[in-house]
Structure 1
Amino acid sequence: MKIAVIGANGKSGHLIAEEAITRGHDVTAIVRDAKKLRPSLPVIEKDLFTLTYDDIKQFDVIIDCFAAWSEEDLPKHVTSLHHLVSLLKDKPNRLLIVGGAGSLYTDKTHTVRLIDTPDFPDSYKPLASNMAKGLDFLRTITNVNWTYFSPAAEFIADGKRTGSYCLGNEEFFTNSKGESKISYADYAIAMIDEAEDAKHIKARFTAIEQ
């Protein structure tokens, strides 16, 4: 399978690309600066917002690991999806997005999200809100093969690779220890499993550590 990873030099993008390579997929990085990439990885050195369909049409799956942290750049979590969707409308390629946990619902009524709860940290609300807006936008799109992957509430960059996880859909949930957490490494496993299995087309899913 041909897979492109947008933001492959970031923490999650790097591990997702490595996981795909380990499984024998043909992986290309799409990054603004190729200096930090492993030398053997094919690269398209281009800003996400300047991508054209000709740049990505060869890929079966495009995995979007775009990240923005500064206040002025947070709306790009929405506008970047607008751009990618505009390229992929009515096309066969799949778009998989590294999403946020704040938009997960607290129960099956789907009326309250994690970001709406009193205990949600104020410092994370601007990022979570923009990522949630991105998901809301995707839900209106019926002619792109998108998948939105929300991590657990605790998303651990340097967590260990256990090789296992539990899947969920729209609701926040916890494991037998009452924890909602997943390492970047296990998240990468679940992401490439989804790339291979295509179980959540035009849908959101989530995963936590067992």
Structure 2
Amino acid sequence: MSRGLFVTLEGGDGSGKSTQASLLEQWLAEHGRAVLRTREPGGTPVGVEVREIVLHHRGDVAPRAEALLYAADRAHHVATVVRPAIARGDVVVQDRYVDSSVAYQGAGRVLDAREVRALSDWATEGLMPDLTVLLDLPWDVAQGRLQDARTRYDRLEAEAGEFHARVRDAYLGLAAAEPERFLVVDATLPVDEIAARISERVEPLL
């Protein structure tokens, strides 16, 4: 049986995570690997309910409550979806994980990033990805993409530019601190070039 693998895609909204996850899923299937593609929040029926609250609720959600909601979703998702898939020998390709909480709830909401990380570590029993792909994109470029694509209110996208600048800086800081886990890719590059860089990094892990 093939060894299970856990790959996450991170970055701001509009950076192309869904596109690259789809292309990676296709590439892995062509290489004979069973793939589970999922996301946070929303990768389980429980997660769908959490997603509605944290992303689409128009009222106020306290920052600590928001962080706890993401952690609750993550605990259930890892226990019921991610760990079983890895145990089967699948490759899990996931849109957002622990680093999203550190960047968005830690830096974005100005909470203690170490506490946010510790909360997720507890929720997941310490499960970390084999590879995290960070699609780095300035917020002004992302805004232009999102204006053409979004049809529904999103609480995080609606935040001011300063919020998104903190999130981007946090992501780059995480990548600098763990270069062996992260692949940072300029998300303004052509889609096929980004996909090639990702598959090149994934291939030795298979």
TM-score (norm 1): 0.42
Higher relative contact order (CA 8 A, sep 6+): 2
